[in-house]
């Protein structure tokens, strides 16, 4: 690799070090360490990049932009797409309408009876096996951001059950019992998490504790309780992949 080739690659190396583990840059980085002239160029390049980046970070979005986005985004969660842009008043009106709909849906939801954790696990695995899972609400996609960043799930999802219930995620009724489901990807594998209120289960008094694992063909599941919510996590990536999330 010539120095010009190394420079070509290193021009795409971020100054914050986020690309340190990227194999594409390894040979060029090694060459920069071995060649003082190339190393000096790289140091100047990184300093220049950092200086420009720092200047750009000084720009703050205008006051009010965030609130306008939030008002509009909430309102459009369940309305047909429009090609025309909406003004702030229209955003707010839509937001109010959706809030009313969420409230009505909540008040009319069916009452649940008791359910066993084994039944929920069996249902979840069957649900995943037949591809009926996920992609039923915008909230699921946004939640994936948080789930992708969460280190462990043994203490539950980084969002309360009440919030999940109102989020527009896929909601199911099993024997008159509400179950919420969300899909997400981590480490290249897909996971499906089913949540229900622990108090509605026959073993409602089960304390928070170790997860129980089970497998069925290519699917693995973990079943545990945390802070009043029973979780069933299913994946086709194997039981070790499931364990790594807990």
Minimum distance of another protein from residue 47's CB (angstroms): 5
Three-state DSSP class for 60? Answer: coil
What is the rounded distance in angstroms from the CA atom of residue 179 to the CA atom of residue 199?
13
Task: Report the residue number, 121 or 156, with the smaller CB distance to another protein.
Answer: 156
Nearer to another protein among residue 15 and residue 122 (C-beta): 15
Smallest separation (angstroms) from another protein to the CB of 246: 19
Closer residue to another protein, CB minimum distance, 7 or 244: 7
- For the CB of residue 100, give the shortest distance to another protein in the complex, in Å: 14
- Nearest by Cα to 38 from 61, 7, 14: 7
Maximum distance among all Cα pairs of the chain, rounded to whole angstroms: 73
Least distance from another protein to the Cβ atom of residue 5, Å: 10
Give the Cα-Cα-Cα angle 153, 143, 226 (nearest 5 degrees).
30
Residues 217, 125: Cα–Cα separation, whole Å: 10
Query: Is 155 or 187 the residue whose CB approaches another protein more closely?
Result: 187
What kind and span of H or E run contains 46? helix 36-57
């Amino acid at each position: 690799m010539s120095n010009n080739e190394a420079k070509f690659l290193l021009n795409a190396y971020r100054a914050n070090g986020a690309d340190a583990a990227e194999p594409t840059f390894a040979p060029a980085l090694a060459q920069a360490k071995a060649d003082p002239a190339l190393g000096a160029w790289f140091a100047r390049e990184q300093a220049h990049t950092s200086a420009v980046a720092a200047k750009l970070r000084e720009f703050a979005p205008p006051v009010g932009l965030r609130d306008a986005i939030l008002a509009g985004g909430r309102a459009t969660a369940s309305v047909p797409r429009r090609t025309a842009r909406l003004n702030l008043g229209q955003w707010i009106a839509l937001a109010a309408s959706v809030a009313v709909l969420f409230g009505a849906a909540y008040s009319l939801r069916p009452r649940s009876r008791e359910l066993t954790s084994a039944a929920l696990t069996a249902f979840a695995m069957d649900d995943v096996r037949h591809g009926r899972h996920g992609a039923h609400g915008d909230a699921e996609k946004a939640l994936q951001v948080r789930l992708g960043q969460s280190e462990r799930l043994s203490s539950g999802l980084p969002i309360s059950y009440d919030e999940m219930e109102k989020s527009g995620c896929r909601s199911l009724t099993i024997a008159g019992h509400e179950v919420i489901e969300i899909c997400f990807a981590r480490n290249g594998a897909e996971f499906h998490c089913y949540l229900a209120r622990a108090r509605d289960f026959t073993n409602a008094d089960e304390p928070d504790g170790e997860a129980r694992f089970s497998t069925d063909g290519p699917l693995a599941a973990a079943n545990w309780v945390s802070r009043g919510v029973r979780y069933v996590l299913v994946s086709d990536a194997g039981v070790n992949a499931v364990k790594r999330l807990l």
